[in-house]
C-alpha cells in the first residue's frame, strides 16, 4: 500500500491513466497536473494547476514517458495549458522526493542534479524496455501494413540497432516471413543477429546495404539514416523511425527524394495505451512501495 504518500502526476497521455488508477487503488493521494480536460474522476486524486501545487508535501513526482522537452515543457494530452517544470519547483519538494520519468534529457538531468533530487528513468530498466517492446513492435507492424501495398512476407526489411526494440522487431518481422537484415556495431550484437537466423551487417556498411530495402526500421536515436543512406534507397522504400525524438532519419532529405519516412516514437501509447500503462504502473508501484519502506525504516 501507498497510504500517506503524496504524489504529483504531471502531464502525459492515456498511459498515465492506468498509472493513476493503480496508485489510487493503493491509497496514494494524487495531484493531477495537466488533466483538466479529463472527464473521468479518480477517488483520492485532485486535478490542480501547476501554480496551485504545494510542492513541499510531494513525496514523488511522475512525468510522462518523454519527460520534458529541452525547455522544460511537459507533454499534456488532456490539457491545452502549457506546463513547464522548473528547478525552483523541485527545490521546494522534500529532500526524499524522487522524480520518475520514462527517459531524460539535458534539461531534466540538469534541474534534478542542481536541486539534488533523485531521477529514475524507467526505460533504462531492462524489464520495462523489454515489456514495452511488445506494443512497439505491434505498432510498427501496423504502420508497415498501412503504408505499403505489398505483404510483409517476402519483403526486404532492414532493422537498425539491436537494442530491446530492435531485437523484438527483427524477430517479429522474421516470423512474418520477411527477409530481415539487421545493422549493428558491436561484435556480440552481430553474433546474436546470426544466432537469430537473420542477416547481420556492420553499420559502417549501411550505405552499401540499403539498395534493395523495402522497409527500413530505425531504432537508433542518433542520425544514422542520413542523406547519403537515403540517396541509395529505392524510391518506394518505407522508413519507419521508432527511435525517441527527433529520431535518426534525415526527414527533410527523405521528403525531397519522395520517400515516405514516418517518425513514430511512443508507439505503445498510441496502439496499446492500456497495456503500456499497466507495464509502467506495475514497475512504478513497486519502486514507490520500496521507497516508502526505506523512508519508514530510517524514521
Asked if 181 and 255 sit in the same domain, the reply is: yes
Asked if 12 and 95 sit in the same domain, the reply is: yes
Question: Would residue 1 count as lying in a domain?
Answer: no
Distance CA 260, CA 61 (A): 39
Asked if 261 and 132 sit in the same domain, the reply is: yes
Tell me the CATH number at 30: 3.40.50.720
218: nearest Cα among 185, 262, 253: 262
Asked if 236 and 217 sit in the same domain, the reply is: yes
Asked if 261 and 135 sit in the same domain, the reply is: yes
Asked if 146 and 259 sit in the same domain, the reply is: yes
Report pLDDT digits (tens) over 115-155: 999 999 999 999 999 999 999 999 999 999 999 999 999 99
Asked if 36 and 70 sit in the same domain, the reply is: yes
Distance CA 168, CA 161 (A): 11
Asked if 219 and 281 sit in the same domain, the reply is: no
What percent of the chain is modeled with pLDDT above 90?
90
3-state helix, strand, coil in the chain (%, to 5): 40, 20, 40
Q: What range does the domain containing 180 cover?
A: 128-265
Asked if 118 and 163 sit in the same domain, the reply is: no
Q: What pLDDT is recorded for position 299?
A: 63
Question: Would residue 37 count as lying in a domain?
Answer: yes
For residue 46, CA distances in Å to 132, 145, 155, 202, 266 come to 29, 41, 50, 52, 26
For residue 2, the tally of other CB atoms under 10 A from its CB is: 23
Asked if 91 and 184 sit in the same domain, the reply is: no
Question: Taking 70 as the threshold, does the pLDDT of residue 228 lie above it?
Answer: yes
Distance CA 77, CA 11 (A): 7
Question: Would residue 50 count as lying in a domain?
Answer: yes
Q: Once rounded to an integer, what is the mean pLDDT over residues 247-275?
A: 94
Question: Would residue 119 count as lying in a domain?
Answer: yes
Question: Would residue 89 count as lying in a domain?
Answer: yes
Asked if 229 and 279 sit in the same domain, the reply is: no
Domains in the chain: how many in total? Answer: 2
What predicted TM-score, i.e. pTM, was given to this entire model?
0.85
Question: Would residue 253 count as lying in a domain?
Answer: yes
Question: Would residue 64 count as lying in a domain?
Answer: yes
Report pLDDT digits (tens) over 179-211: 999 999 999 999 999 999 999 999 999 999 999
Question: Would residue 218 count as lying in a domain?
Answer: yes
Question: Taking 80 as the threshold, does the pLDDT of residue 296 lie above it?
Answer: no
Asked if 132 and 84 sit in the same domain, the reply is: no
Amino acid at each position: 500500500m501507498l497510504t500517506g504518500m503524496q504524489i504529483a502526476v504531471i502531464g502525459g497521455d492515456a498511459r498515465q491513466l492506468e498509472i493513476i488508477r493503480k496508485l489510487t487503488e493503493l491509497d496514494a493521494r494524487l495531484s493531477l497536473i495537466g488533466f483538466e480536460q479529463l472527464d473521468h474522476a479518480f477517488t483520492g486524486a485532485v486535478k490542480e494547476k501547476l501554480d496551485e501545487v504545494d510542492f513541499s508535501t510531494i513525496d514523488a513526482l511522475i512525468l510522462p514517458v518523454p519527460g520534458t522537452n529541452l525547455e522544460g515543457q511537459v507533454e499534456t494530452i488532456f490539457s491545452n495549458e502549457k506546463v513547464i517544470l522548473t528547478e525552483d519547483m523541485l527545490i521546494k519538494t522534500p529532500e526524499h522526493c524522487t522524480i520518475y520519468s520514462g527517459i531524460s534529457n539535458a534539461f531534466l538531468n540538469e534541474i534534478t542534479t542542481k536541486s539534488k533530487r533523485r531521477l529514475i528513468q524507467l526505460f533504462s530498466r531492462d524489464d520495462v524496455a523489454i515489456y514495452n517492446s511488445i506494443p512497439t513492435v505491434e505498432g510498427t507492424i501496423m504502420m508497415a501494413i498501412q503504408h505499403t501495398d505489398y505483404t510483409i512476407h517476402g519483403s526486404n526489411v532492414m532493422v537498425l540497432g539491436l537494442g530491446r526494440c530492435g531485437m523484438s522487431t527483427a524477430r517479429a518481422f522474421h516470423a512474418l516471413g520477411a527477409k530481415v537484415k539487421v545493422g549493428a556495431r558491436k561484435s556480440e550484437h552481430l553474433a546474436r543477429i546470426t544466432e537469430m537466423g537473420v542477416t547481420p551487417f556492420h553499420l559502417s556498411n549501411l550505405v552499401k546495404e540499403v539498395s534493395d530495402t523495402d522497409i527500413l526500421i530505425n531504432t537508433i536515436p542518433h542520425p544514422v539514416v542520413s542523406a547519403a543512406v537515403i540517396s541509395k534507397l529505392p524510391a518506394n522504400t518505407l522508413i519507419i523511425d521508432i527511435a525517441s525524438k527527433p529520431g535518426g532519419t534525415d526527414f527533410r532529405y527523405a521528403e525531397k527524394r519522395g520517400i515516405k519516412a514516418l517518425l513514430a516514437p511512443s508507439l505503445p501509447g498510441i496502439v496499446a495505451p492500456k497495456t503500456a500503462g499497466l507495464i509502467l504502473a506495475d514497475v512504478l508501484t513497486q519502486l514507490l512501495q520500496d521507497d516508502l519502506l526505506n523512508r519508514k525504516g530510517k524514521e
